[in-house]
Structure 1
């Protein structure tokens, strides 16, 4: 009589029919009950109804044991062995409905839980991004030590200061000229060393390095003390460029603007709405923007290869100088094939100036390994184009981040796509196809995880480390490893 009563109440509450108890549907019904009961366990715990959550969990285990036994003996469940468990679970599910654990309540609570978890995830992601950015910007003590020791070497040794280079080579357009703008001595050394070791004729290679006043003496000392297979290395500091002043260079003008300084350096301007990566002061660094002034920096040169300081060269790059750019100024590897980096990813197409002048689906390309025809650059006044867009973006409404967006605007219609094997990107933030790495000419550690930092991606560090002589006395004194 009691079983009949329970069966009647269950049928009334959960609409269980005799059809659902037929032999062929028992396993499916058990599975459905378990799924529903698991959801109710979550809601019961959220409602602090721990006793009911325990009862549901116990009955879930009973049903799972039935299913497991049937699977082990490889015979279907029978009505006789499963009816009691099904009805007991049905009563618990009916009780859950009486507690308003119905589907609408469950959906609302789950949505609330999901929203809470998403907020936690966003908070954790924001903190992770902030700490990762701080770690990426921090100069390791070992590299700071290296700079100090090299500065001492420079000023105490008149022999190093008197070391002469062949000045004629610096202006000889029959040679291969490479340009690097950096304040990182060790990273720049890896670029020069890897290029030298990969070159078929290193004596025909000239490196033009530009740094700041703080790093000028140690940079000069390092490249005077070390030989790179006969590669010629010139070091300059941008403070010596007379033409580099705020009346000519928009970025210097922005640096003097109090609102811009507040935006980049204090972070108090928009109540934290702008992500930290957009507020990095390095994006106003002159070393970062000198790439737009290469003809002014090197007035005697006709063609150069520009390299970022976070690259490794593993093929001979002299062939780049014979590539026909078809009248274009910039030769670069496009990035819109697999990663879909098109113009609309970098620029604000809600702004009428951007909409009117640029195709949102135009293919993006990468800085870091570029061949520049400086004759065409001067002829087309490319630096003037760059100035125009920088002036238009004083309020940061055209783009927010870095030098690539203004580069995309400046070299729009003036860029010749290169074979993708010339420039392999992503080694500083993602997984890269090993075949691409093996066949790539230039490997770019773009991203926060630089190979000289503790946060560098471990599996890619050996690609960079092999170009550092860790037995060098100065590196050992500074514990560079």
Structure 2
């Protein structure tokens, strides 16, 4: 029994350690399973380097373009980064001293953790956000020429679509300004305005808030009175140093990056709105300047009108036979401008072989009718005759540099209208301006109205006056725009009845195109100053003005009294 009991006792005493070993083995296996799930999760979320999550970090709550804008993505930067002005950091630099303050981290985190955190953040930015190579070049460069092809700046094209010839005039009149320091001050003011609201909310930074507010007010006062560096006050360098120091202090504070980002966006929107406003204002003033009559020309018209009623001279009665003689060369001019009409007639007569056979029929509106009658009765143009008639809202912008008598012997092959065609613009380009019900050849070339040779007999045979009036009435009823309707109706009226003159007869675009060579201008038969920049306006293109001015009698006492000096 003892032996059995002893044996049983021995057996019983060794069974308890076996159970404990089995339980320890189970716990070890469970621990390994748990660790096998936890460790990949730690590496996946970046917890091993102190980077908790991309969802809670303000850096990744911003759009991709702002990841490179260090001011927007990070509230604290190395102060030396802004010594050269805001926004000058390289976009793909990997050596920037970035420090991201996570709100979930304790304030007493070690320096080693900060270094690892910054390195990990930089690495993620480089891996997740595409960067441009340092030697990358923009696809469109203003003014670049290659293989006889000019590459136009896309922004310039958009500007011309919105504001027309104003963009061309602004580009040519643009002067280089010495305003590098002014721009730097504006950049500092921009950054200070973005940080100030966040700093003002910190009760512990009242002194810094007051300092930034004072600096912002000082900068605003200086910049409101300054456009170039020479206008800056003497102490501006000290002001910039103080402002840079204030901005550096603001960046070292713990602020909400989202608030700074929102403020930056608001300032960008306000700046863009202000720039668009000034652009629209300048374009409006430009349009006002080219569409309204200059004060000097208005004075000239009024003086001539008053003088006409004081005078009883009317020499046109002695020229009635000339006006109706079919053997003479008859020119029809539509204009409301005294100077432009005078230049057209004078330049034509000076280059004509037989001036005594030149007859000009000048059609103008009621406002300028009497002024023109007196002007052309006082001024002689060789032996040519000038008849002034009354009509409204028509204008001519050309002057002539060649004897045009050969046009009277032109065989137009049964066509009605002889004009210089422009096949760069065809009717299918103007399809949306033409009536839907009309039928026309889409490949027909458009034509300019600077000079036209009309076969009156065939005009009457085709009854083109009635055709034109019907088209104008129909198109005005559709779109309600009379000016667009008249231009489109003119193209359709002469459909298939246009005879193309040689391009050398006329050069167009002298009122908007800066690119014409002077040699080409000098060899053209007729110069057409179509466009907004007329030669008698201050906004006129300077290099073309001399071709127009030499046919103007600047010694006339009415021009001197009204200070007319185009």
TM-score (norm 2): 0.54
Task: Give the gaps of 5 or more residues in structure 2.
Answer: 1-45, 50-64, 99-117, 133-261
Q: 2:507·2:527 contact (CA, 8 Å) conserved in 1? A: yes
Shift of the 87–172 alpha-carbon distance from structure 1 to 2, 3 Å rule, reads closer
- What does residue 476 of structure 1 align with? 560
Shift of the 161–215 alpha-carbon distance from structure 1 to 2, 3 Å rule, reads same
Q: CA deviation at 1:326?
A: 1.0
In the TM superposition, 1:55-70 aligns within 5 A as 55=81
- What does residue 362 of structure 1 align with? 444
Counterpart Cα distance in 1 of 2:442 and 2:483: 17
Shift of the 97–181 alpha-carbon distance from structure 1 to 2, 3 Å rule, reads farther
In the TM superposition, 1:7-406 aligns within 5 A as 43-45=69-71, 49=75, 51=77, 55=81, 88=95, 95=121, 103=129, 126-158=280-312, 160-161=313-314, 164-238=317-391, 286-288=392-394, 309-336=396-423, 340-348=424-432, 352-354=436-438, 357-397=439-479, 401-402=483-484, 403-406=486-489
Q: CA deviation at 1:86?
A: 8.4
Give per-residue Cα distances to partners, 1:324-372, cap 9 Å, x unaligned.
1111111010112xxx211133341785324xx1233321110121111
Shift of the 466–399 alpha-carbon distance from structure 1 to 2, 3 Å rule, reads same
Q: Which range moves more in the overlay, 378-387 or 93-102?
A: 93-102
Counterpart Cα distance in 2 of 1:201 and 1:397: 47
Shift of the 86–320 alpha-carbon distance from structure 1 to 2, 3 Å rule, reads closer
Q: 2:94·2:122 contact (CA, 8 Å) conserved in 1? A: no
Match of 2:537 among 428, 439, 453: 453
Q: 1:334·1:366 contact (CA, 8 Å) conserved in 2? A: yes
Task: Give the gaps of 5 or more residues in structure 1.
Answer: 1-8, 13-38, 64-84, 239-285, 289-307
Q: 2:505·2:524 contact (CA, 8 Å) conserved in 1? A: yes
TM-score (norm 1): 0.63
- What does residue 413 of structure 1 align with? 496
Q: CA deviation at 1:418?
A: 0.5
User: Secondary structure of 1:353's match?
Assistant: coil
User: Secondary structure of 1:367's match?
Assistant: strand
RMSD: 4.1
Q: CA deviation at 1:128?
A: 4.4
Counterpart Cα distance in 1 of 2:274 and 2:429: 26
Shift of the 418–46 alpha-carbon distance from structure 1 to 2, 3 Å rule, reads farther
Counterpart Cα distance in 1 of 2:509 and 2:477: 30
Give per-residue Cα distances to partners, 1:96-147, cap 9 Å, x unaligned.
57579953799xx9xx999999988876665444333221111111111111
Question: How many residue pairs are counted as aligned between the two chains?
Answer: 351
Counterpart Cα distance in 1 of 2:481 and 2:489: 8
